[in-house]
Amino acid sequence: MSSQLQELESKVKEYLAFESPNIHTWCSGCGNFGILNALVRALVLENIAPHECLICFDVGCNSNASDKINANTIHGLHGRVLSLAAGCTIGNHKLPVIAIGGDGATFSEGINHLVHAVRNNYNFVFICHNNSNYGLTTGQASATTRKGQVMNGTPGEVVVEPLNAAEIVLSLDPSFVARGFSGDVEYLTELIRQGLKHKGFAFIEVFQVCPTYNKATPQSWYWPRIKKVEEIPGYDNTDIWQARKIAADLEEQIAVGLLYHNPNKLDFLSLQANRQQRSTTLVEEVQHFPISELLEEFK
């Protein structure tokens, strides 16, 4: 038994506290099961209880987990979960915030929010489910669908090259970029734990199987191609140029792990001069201000 499983064995009660009575509605074999399992494991191992965190969901198959986990959860609009999570973490920086969205929402409707989340280095973890299609709406091609694939809503085949999620984020001077695979729950758990410990925007892309609509990349396609950064001789995850180099390959040797980490980059709230001497959160500073005198001026 691995050390992670041994540690979880002593925290069964804490793990079960995240259980919801609601029935999972994902397809059999969906990568969402593994990702949700990894997230709960990470929270338990980091001693974060259900009431001590906030999980923000976008719209998509991944967001069907919002009532399948017993924690503080909130839905955002499609492609807008990052701006929602940013507001939450600025309002209460003492609360661990996790945002969850898919490749469709993130790299089409919400790519502008992604750019500014990285740029501003908001202090939260973002788990990007990348199954290379819009699964909730029956398998339309997304911005990360591979060229040549035949998808619902794409007559013939996809004719343009896909976006490389990690390459885009690495081009924006990030502070934390990681990749995982939904089939390797234990390894993904450790990546999420590292993200929870990071102060700043922790981008975690998860390559995820979609057994119903994306037949091109099943588990059997990923396993021989996955390469952990720990297995790359001399790899230095503080070197962004090395990270950009290994992130480029999405076909033959797909690098997973903590690709890049800059713990010295200040997060957004730490850059605000007017907050330097304050130990309270913004929500703790909310007060009641009578406005009756102001209203009198408009009578």
* Residue boundaries of the structural domains of the chain: 3-296
Answer whether 190's CB lies under 8 Å from 4's CB.
Answer: yes
Picking from 92, 70, 163, 76, the residue whose alpha carbon sits closest to that of residue 126 is 76
Q: Is the pLDDT of residue 250 over 90?
A: yes
Q: How far is CA 71 from CA 9, 39, 81, 172, 179, in A?
A: 21, 12, 17, 32, 25
pLDDT (average), residues 264-289: 93
| Residue 254: CA count within 13 A, CB half-sphere | 20
Cβ neighbours, 10 Å, residue 77: 13
Picking from 129, 276, 279, the residue whose alpha carbon sits closest to that of residue 207 is 129
- pLDDT at position 123 is 98
Rounded distance between C-alpha atoms, residue 248 and residue 267, angstroms: 27
Pull the structure tokens for residue 281: 């959160």
- pLDDT at position 33 is 97
Cβ neighbours, 10 Å, residue 5: 11
Answer whether 15's CB lies under 8 Å from 47's CB.
Answer: no
* CATH fold of 3-296: Rossmann fold (3.40.50)
Residue 289: which pLDDT band, with cuts at 50, 70 and 90?
Answer: confident
Answer whether 192's CB lies under 8 Å from 278's CB.
Answer: no
Q: Is the pLDDT of residue 95 over 90?
A: yes
Pull the structure tokens for residue 32: 């969402």
pLDDT (average), residues 139-166: 95
Give tens-digit pLDDT for 194-224. Answer: 999 999 999 999 999 999 999 999 999 999 9
